[in-house]
Structure 1
């Protein structure tokens, strides 16, 4: 469990991390374990990949995640609490 991600969700802070060779900047929405046991983050991607949209990122223990000082105000319209892709949710908006 990554406390940086949990705190960023609670404080609505942007996150930055490297994922599949690109630096991503995201608005984190849901963080937890998927049914297959993968630690994952559902977030709105702002930059670093193929456009702005919700993405599901699967993390391992080596993934370095940094909270930014910049915050975001609102949940994205497509967001739904209690995302069924997760068997256990550590934090969500």
Structure 2
């Protein structure tokens, strides 16, 4: 799954997936290792449900992602507030 997310980041392709039982569509921004040692993805949600309304930025453990689909839809601009060098990750495999 990590390689699929890396390809989506490099191609700036939107992804859809289920996380915590909620279907989401998002811009993948970074994938790496969290401070807790888990493989994670930082993404900006553009459609779908939210655990917390108004919470667009997600930090998802790859092991909990289900039904990942890399769409054909491309995003051209970085999400609002995006910064390279995610501080929640100790190692970054790919980022915008």
Are 1:10 and 2:13 an aligned pair?
Answer: no
Matches within 5 A, 1:58-77: 58-60=61-63, 63-77=66-80
Q: Which residue of structure 1 aligns with residue 26 of structure 2?
A: 26
Deviation at 1:75, TM superposition (A): 0.5
Where has structure 1 moved over 4 Å in runs of 4 or more? Answer: none
Deviation at 1:52, TM superposition (A): 6.0
Q: Secondary structure at the match of 2:77?
A: coil
Q: Is the 8 A contact 1:25 1:45 kept in 2?
A: yes
**TM-score normalised to structure 2 length:** 0.87
How many residue pairs align between the two structures? Answer: 93
RMSD: 1.7
**TM-score normalised to structure 1 length:** 0.89
